[in-house]
């Protein structure tokens, strides 16, 4: 499919249609779904990081006013199947409530159902649990040791995954390189922490035998997983996608919440609402992100060319398996970043611990990996006394080398990294920026410039599933769109997922409008429920511009071709001899002319005028396969991960008062290339939000456990999110290298900013610390620790 040369609606600064209802406070979120007779759930949390449950006494709680039920793990486990694991780890079993043993502080041991949430909370306090405390393990390295306490004794160890991939001749490249550097960096456990916690409302209709679900979800195969766990036919679970989701970026998975609420709704025969409060969300919402230690060694030449890399990534997934281990797999598709590193040894290790369960977070493991790769580039530059940008330039893949096959089997679609860097340096006035750093240093401040150059793999395939789980043969991760033109000529298109702020309605309408050359604002976008939906995999993996945009494009193109066939048939000419413009069709070199409504009328009312064997009506559907997603991984672990690769280049200037240790941003510039931009406002919002999120990861956000296994950061008092005060003015420098693999040249942007900001901020701080001869190598870098490190370095000088 060749893209139009000039766009009419794509790339133009059109309003985001969803914004109107959100700005006016008229979104419809799960908390707005109120059903007659609805009852509320509160959860009883474990006080222990690990303990055997001896007894749960609910008598006092059941005696409280308004209480309908108290359900503990044993009852639930007898009625539902365990939740799915991503890896082949059948002995790591998980139910929505702890069964027999608790495995982290905050884990739910019982659910209390009452007429109001307040009553449920009052009663939850009276549920008496007696425990026998068990030994626990929090640290990933400790959990990895063979003599560690196993979080799941039946599994035998804490190791969920330990696989070493070797792509290319690592041994030879290391042997031939005159230099090597080894280092460790640590990525603290953070997440995306949306303002709206996870919530679900479930109603069971026994007369129609259907379970209706309204949920704040962003979860592939959600309905299937609910049905499977609840032992219902999949067509007895109806998920309503017309619910606005108040933020997610990966964490709104909600399987355990929904299975629990679904069981309760059926047992009580009442609609059940489970909306996490902040404590439940932070402690046990299955919403923590990667918690990762990287050990990296790079082999390089004296001119800074990096020949090979060895990386061990050790991820602490917490108490249960889930999909989290796959977050070590996705980065395989961009394991060399934007660089021509010839070979890679990658050891991916995933261990359980007595922390809360980890789930997907924006980038699915890519932001931590990018932080490790970018640290390597900075260290190589420092070791050789070379300029950091120059080292990047020397190692970048050149624009004439695309599509570029990286050692781990992914072919990058396109890019022009050198030009983006040139544009950013021209924009910031690079010599002036360096001078500004020197001026700040002369004022007695520590000042540093941070650099990062990162990729955003996009188009969300699921190739990491078969890569890490040989029993999984998934080779498609489709997305769909259906377009219907009614008898009055109005266009309605369907999307088959919830949205958590990504602007999918604007996206689909813009693309369909572009193809059909009609005003996108006149196109209705609807979200059927899951039973009326076409196959889809939800907005994960920075995929919707590519996949929903692609499906909408193809469905619209099918519709357009049908209109052309109808017109050519009326004109008695070849289809090639008509011109389609703004919805109407003219015969080229002839008198024929049909307006949009003429064509609609023929399709809907004049079967006798249709070409032979054409179906009446104007309805088209497209189920789209992921571009490039054709094959399963090779036995040595090479796979085409995602189809598209956006590029971002950050330049950050920070100043640090050496006594106070507080990094202050003096300049923040990002060069961004995500190919063709479908809606500039959406892409800008993603990028700014992503940078804010990345600054949080670099400086502020972490779920902290004390050495007793108690979670300390349970609320926004201790889990510190950046506010408007902490986020600098960000300057965005655009570049467009269209992807050859997508319909309009678009790439993904849902993770932009976040994938490079943590690396850039860390780089800036370390540049500021360079004169003191120290580096910070764990995120987040907190103010007191930074000041203490500076003071120690000064004292030892």
Q: What residue ranges bind another protein (CB under 8 A)?
A: 117-118, 121-122, 125, 277-279, 657, 659-662, 700, 706, 712, 715, 717, 720, 722-723, 725-726, 782-784, 787-788, 791
> What's the distance, CA 714 to chain centroid?
23
Rounded-to-integer distance, Cα 672 and Cα 659, Å: 35
Give the H or E element holding residue 578.
Answer: strand 578-581
Rounded-to-integer distance, Cα 396 and Cα 410, Å: 16
The residue among 104 and 719 lying less far from another protein, judged by its C-beta, is 719
- List C-alpha distances in Å: 282 to 288, 357, 703, 722: 8, 11, 8, 17
Tokens coding 493: 């298109």
57 CB burial (10 A radius; 0-12, 13-18, 19+): middle
For 650, list phi and psi in degrees, rounded to 5. -105, 140
Answer yes or no: are the C-beta atoms of 17 and 244 closer than 8 Å: no
The residue among 423 and 662 lying less far from another protein, judged by its C-beta, is 662
DSSP structure class, residue 325:
G
Give the H or E element holding residue 455.
Answer: strand 446-458
Least spacing, CB of residue 710 vs another protein, in Å: 11
> Looking up tokens 């002319």, which residue turns up?
593
The residue among 126 and 552 lying less far from another protein, judged by its C-beta, is 126
The residue among 725 and 797 lying less far from another protein, judged by its C-beta, is 725
Least spacing, CB of residue 758 vs another protein, in Å: 17
- The SS3 of residue 263 is helix
Nearest to 215 by CA among 638, 425, 530: 530
Least spacing, CB of residue 277 vs another protein, in Å: 4
Answer yes or no: are the C-beta atoms of 747 and 545 closer than 8 Å: yes
Q: What angle do CA 202, 207, 211 make, to 5 degrees?
A: 20
Output the DSSP codes for 664-714: EEEEEEEEEE-BS-S-HHHHHHHHHHHHHHHHIIIII----B-TTS-B---
The residue among 62 and 783 lying less far from another protein, judged by its C-beta, is 783
Least spacing, CB of residue 440 vs another protein, in Å: 17
Task: Name beta bridge partners: 453.
Answer: 649
Least spacing, CB of residue 253 vs another protein, in Å: 21
Least spacing, CB of residue 756 vs another protein, in Å: 22
The residue among 75 and 276 lying less far from another protein, judged by its C-beta, is 276
Least spacing, CB of residue 114 vs another protein, in Å: 11
The counts of H helices and E strands in the chain are: 20, 29
The residue among 126 and 515 lying less far from another protein, judged by its C-beta, is 126
The residue among 390 and 785 lying less far from another protein, judged by its C-beta, is 785
Least spacing, CB of residue 696 vs another protein, in Å: 10
The residue among 487 and 791 lying less far from another protein, judged by its C-beta, is 791
Least spacing, CB of residue 722 vs another protein, in Å: 7
The residue among 120 and 144 lying less far from another protein, judged by its C-beta, is 120
DSSP structure class, residue 517:
T
> Looking up tokens 């890490």, which residue turns up?
468
For 238, list phi and psi in degrees, rounded to 5. -120, 105
Rounded-to-integer distance, Cα 418 and Cα 400, Å: 11
Least spacing, CB of residue 235 vs another protein, in Å: 37
Least spacing, CB of residue 108 vs another protein, in Å: 16
The residue among 115 and 519 lying less far from another protein, judged by its C-beta, is 115
């Amino acid at each position: 499919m060749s893209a139009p040369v000039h766009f009419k609606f794509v790339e133009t600064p059109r309003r985001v249609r969803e914004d109107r209802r959100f700005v006016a406070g008229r979104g419809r979120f799960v908390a707005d779904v109120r059903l007659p007779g609805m009852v509320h759930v509160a959860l009883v949390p474990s006080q222990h990081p690990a303990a055997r449950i001896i007894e749960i006494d609910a008598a006092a709680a059941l005696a409280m006013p308004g209480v309908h039920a108290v359900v503990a793990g044993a009852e639930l486990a007898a009625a539902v199947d365990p939740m799915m694991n991503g890896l082949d780890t059948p002995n790591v079993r998980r139910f929505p409530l702890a069964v027999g043993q608790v495995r982290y502080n905050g884990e739910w041991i019982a659910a209390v159902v009452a007429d109001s949430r307040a009553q449920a909370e009052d009663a939850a306090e009276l549920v008496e649990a007696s425990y026998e405390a068990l030994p626990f393990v929090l640290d990933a390295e400790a959990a990895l040791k063979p003599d560690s306490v196993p979080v799941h004794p039946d599994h035998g160890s804490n190791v969920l995954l330990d696989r070493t991939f070797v792509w290319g001749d690592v041994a030879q490249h290391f042997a031939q390189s005159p230099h090597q550097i080894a280092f460790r960096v640590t990525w603290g456990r953070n997440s995306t922490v949306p303002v709206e916690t996870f919530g679900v409302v479930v109603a069971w209709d026994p007369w129609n035998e259907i379970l209706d679900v309204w949920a704040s979800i962003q979860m592939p195969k959600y309905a299937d997983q609910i049905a499977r766990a609840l032992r219902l036919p999949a067509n007895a679970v109806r998920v309503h996608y017309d619910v606005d989701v108040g933020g997610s970026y990966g964490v709104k998975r909600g399987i355990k919440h929904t299975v629990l609420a679904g069981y309760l709704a059926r047992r009580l025969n009442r609609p059940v609402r489970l909306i996490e409060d902040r404590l439940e969300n932070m402690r046990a919402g299955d919403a923590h992100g990667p918690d990762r230690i990287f050990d990296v060694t790079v082999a390089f030449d004296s001119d800074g060319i990096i020949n090979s890399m060895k990386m061990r990534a050790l991820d602490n997934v917490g108490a249960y398996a889930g999909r989290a281990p796959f977050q070590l797999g996705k980065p395989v598709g961009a394991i060399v970043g934007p660089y021509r590193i010839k070979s890679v040894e990658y050891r991916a290790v995933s261990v359980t611990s007595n922390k809360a369960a980890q789930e997907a977070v924006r980038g699915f493991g890519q932001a931590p990996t990018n932080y490790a790769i970018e640290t390597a580039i900075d260290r190589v530059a420092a070791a050789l006394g070379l300029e950091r940008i120059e080292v990047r330039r020397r190692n970048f893949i050149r624009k004439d080398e695309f599509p570029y096959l990286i050692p781990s089997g992914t072919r990058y679609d396109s890019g022009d990294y050198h030009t983006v860097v040139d544009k950013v340096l021209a924009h910031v006035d690079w010599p002036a920026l360096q001078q500004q750093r020197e001026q700040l240093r002369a004022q007695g401040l520590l000042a540093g410039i941070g650099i990062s150059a990162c990729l955003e793999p996009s188009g969300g395939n699921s190739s990491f599933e078969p890569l890490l789980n040989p029993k999984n043969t998934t080779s498609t991760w489709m997305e769909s769109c259906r377009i219907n033109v009614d008898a009055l000529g109005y266009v309605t298109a369907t999307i088959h997922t919830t949205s958590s702020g990504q602007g999918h309605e604007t996206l689909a309408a813009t693309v369909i409008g572009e193809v059909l050359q009609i005003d996108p604002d006149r196109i209705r976008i609807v979200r059927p429920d899951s039973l009326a939906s076409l196959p889809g995999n939800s907005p994960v993996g920075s995929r919707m511009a590519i996949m929903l945009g692609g499906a909408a494009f193809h469905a619209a193109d099918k519709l357009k071709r049908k209109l052309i066939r109808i017109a050519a048939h009326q004109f008695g000419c070849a289809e090639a001899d008509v011109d389609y413009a703004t919805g109407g069709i003219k015969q080229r070199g002839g008198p024929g002319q049909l307006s949009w409504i003429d064509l609609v009328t023929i399709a809907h009312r004049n079967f006798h005028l249709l070409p032979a064997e054409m179906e009446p009506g104007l309805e088209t559907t497209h189920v789209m396969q992921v571009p490039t997603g054709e094959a399963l991984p090779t036995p040595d672990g090479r796979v085409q991960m995602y189809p598209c690769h956006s590029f971002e280049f950050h330049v950050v200037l920070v100043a640090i008062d050496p006594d106070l240790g507080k990094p202050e941003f003096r300049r923040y510039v990002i060069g961004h290339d995500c190919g063709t931009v479908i809606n500039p406002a959406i892409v800008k919002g993603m990028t700014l939000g992503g940078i804010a999120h990345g600054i949080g990861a670099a400086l502020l956000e972490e779920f902290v456990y004390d050495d007793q296994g108690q979670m300390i950061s349970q609320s926004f008092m201790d889990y510190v999110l950046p506010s408007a005060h902490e986020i600098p003015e960000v300057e965005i420098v655009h570049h467009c290298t269209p992807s050859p693999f997508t319909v309009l040249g678009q790439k993904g942007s849902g993770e932009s900013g976040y994938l490079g900001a943590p690396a850039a901020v860390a780089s800036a701080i370390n540049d500021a610390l360079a004169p003191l001869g120290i580096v910070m190598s764990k995120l987040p870098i907190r103010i007191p620790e930074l000041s203490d490190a500076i003071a120690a370095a000064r004292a030892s000088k």
